[in-house]
Amino acid sequence: MIKLINASERHEARVGDWLQSAYLFSFADYYDPSNVQFGPLRVFNDDIVSSHSGFPLHPHADMEIVTILLDGEMTHKDSLGNESRLAAGEVQRITAGTGVTHSITNESDKEAHLLQLWFLPNKRGLAPSYEQMKVDFPDTKNKLVPLVTGQKVLEDVLFMNSNSTVYHATLGQGENIDFRTFKIRRSLIYVLDGSLVINSIEADRHDQIRLDDQEVVSIHATSAASLILVDVPALEVNY
C-alpha cells in the first residue's frame, strides 16, 4: 500500500507568538484515532521557533526523542547535566527512559527550523542518555545517509532504542535513489523541499508518502529536492 498525504493535510498549530508547528501525527490538541502513530514512530513535528524563545524545562519518560536542526541554532539543557548548542545540520537523540527533564531554546536573533521525531522504545525503564552529532547535509547528495538507528550500530550514526532508522538525502534534478526494504517493514518519506516521484506517486514540498508491503522504494527527483525517510518495523513490541 502507498498513501500520499498532501501538505495541506498536516495539522497546523501555533503556540503563542513563538512556535509554528505542523503535526504529522496526533499531538497536543490534535487527535485523530486513525493517525496516532506509524509503527513505533509516535510523533513527527515540523517546528519553526522564534528568536529568544523555545521549549522550557519539561519532563519525558520512556520515549526516544530525535531532533534534527535544519536551520538556525538551539540550546539544550537537561537534568543529566548536559548543556550544548545545536547548529544547523546537527542531530540530537535523547533516551528519556526512567525520566529526564530538558529544555531546548532559541537564544539567537533569528528563527530556528527543526524536526522532532519521537519513537516508542523497544524496552521500558532504560537509563536516560543523550547524544549529539554533526551531519554535513550537502554531502548527503544523491544518497540516503542514516542519522539515527537502532537496527545496528554504525560509525557516525546516533543510536536509539527502536528497531528503526532515520535517513536524510538531497537529490539533484533527475537523480534517483532506490531504498531496498522488506515487506515486514514500513517507510515514511517527508519531502522537505522540491518535488519527487516515489514508486510512481508524485510528491511536493511538505507532502508525505507512507509505504507498506514494499520491497523497493524508488525515489526520483523531478526538481532538486531534500527529504527525510523513516524506516520502521510494521510491528514492534514495546515493553
pLDDT digits (tens, 9 = 90+) for 192-212: 999 999 999 999 999 999 999
Report the alpha-carbon distance of residue 210 to residue 13 in Å, rounded: 22
Question: Residues 96-112: pLDDT tens digits?
Answer: 999 999 999 999 999 99
Q: At residue 188, does pLDDT exceed 80?
A: yes
Q: Report all structural domains of the chain as residue ranges with CATH numbers, in order of start.
A: 2-233 (2.60.120.10)
The size of the chain, in residues, is 239
User: Are 67 and 46 in contact, with CB atoms under 8 Å apart?
Assistant: no
Exposure string for 159-192, b = 16+ CB within 10 A, e = fewer: bbbbbbbbbbbbbeeebebebebeeebbbbbbbb
User: Are 146 and 154 in contact, with CB atoms under 8 Å apart?
Assistant: yes
Question: Residues 145-187: pLDDT tens digits?
Answer: 999 999 876 667 899 999 999 999 999 999 999 999 999 999 9
Q: What distances in angstroms separate CA 234 from CA 41, 95, 166, 190, one per listed residue? A: 10, 22, 15, 18
User: Are 160 and 66 in contact, with CB atoms under 8 Å apart?
Assistant: yes
